[in-house]
Amino acid sequence: MSFWQGKRILITGGAGFVGHFLVDRMVNQLGVDRDDIIIPRSKDLDLRVWENCLEATKEVDLVIHLAASVGGIGFNMKNPATLFYDNAIMGIQLIEAARRNDVGKFVALGTICAYPKFTPVPFKEEDLWNGYPEETNAPYGLAKKMMLVQSQSYRQQYGFNSIYLLPVNLYGPRDNFNPDSSHVIPAIIKKVVDAQEEGRKSIELWGTGKATREFLFVRDCAEGILLAAEKYDKPDPVNLGAGREISIKDLGELICRLCEFDGKIVWDSTKPDGQPRRCLDTSRAEREFGFKARTDFEGGLKETITWYREFRSGKVKKF
């Protein structure tokens, strides 16, 4: 409790997917006063503007930078320049503004997309610079990766306490289910539920299904971020994940089973698979600040599917 008490905390992206669970845990489990949490909304405070970054970080003790311009493979392919610029400029300006305003600690959220395309599995933090990222993710991944360079150089030159976390693909209730920008789990869930409601007997998914991914439940991710904010003060990047992988084919079949959809999956192999494999070595997070994912994958998927069906029916709101 002593770490959190009396701190003014800026959470960029605090009104979003991860931010919702982060704030909930801070207030209801860590005893943080809600009035001490600052959550700028992008429509009110564009963090691509330097003056706004300076204003947002004034009289702040801790910054947790979640805000990002992000999407799935299709979105990445259509918007590489936007993804690079928005994410790079926000990170660069926020860290510099936090340094100028004497913020005590900065928690930068990177991305699994920063890893090289052919990283040996499981991905170890030491392999982060051993190649170029997968092409469809590279502009986004490299923009977010620059926060690691900035964090380490600012620590070296200024003694600025900035840490860098690498969360794997996230999923859970309140995820983005917009088909133009969603990631794979909400995209598949939406396709399955749409097909059921429309009486269709098949769904179409991108790629071959052979690629693998690792997924971290959003509530677990929030726990990992807060543990790192409280207990980790080193320059080395840290993976946040569950330490298990599943093929997209098996994922699609699992979601169909959990949704009780007995239709067929048609694979469009003309579309890209993205990175061939993704699975993290999560030992550093457990060793350094005691984080270990606790949510059973199938249980997390069931909770996500239930929430989405309730959201579609109007029983719950997104935020």
Which phi and psi (to 5°) does residue 107 adopt? Answer: -110, 110
Cα three-residue angle 297-300-303, rounded to 5 degrees: 155
* Catalytic residue (choose from 140, 154, 171, 308): 140
DSSP string across 194-209 = HHHHHT-SEEEEES-S
Q: How far apart are CA 83 and CA 69, in angstroms?
A: 6
Q: How far apart are CA 92 and CA 95, in angstroms?
A: 6
Contact by Cβ (8 Å): 249, 203: no
Long-range CB contacts for residues 118-121, cutoff 8 Å, separation at least 24: 118/276, 121/245, 121/277, 121/278, 121/279
Query: Is 140 a residue of the active site?
Result: yes
DSSP string across 37-106 = EE---TTT--TTSHHHHHHHTTT-SEEEE-------HHHHHH-HHHHHHHHHHHHHHHHHHHHHTT-SEE
Contact by Cβ (8 Å): 97, 221: no
- Strand-pairing partners, residue 64, are 11, 107
Q: How far apart are CA 206 and CA 319, in angstroms?
A: 29
> Smallest Cα–Cα separation from 28: which of 286, 296, 226, 294?
226
Q: How far apart are CA 84 and CA 64, in angstroms?
A: 20
Catalytic site residues?
140
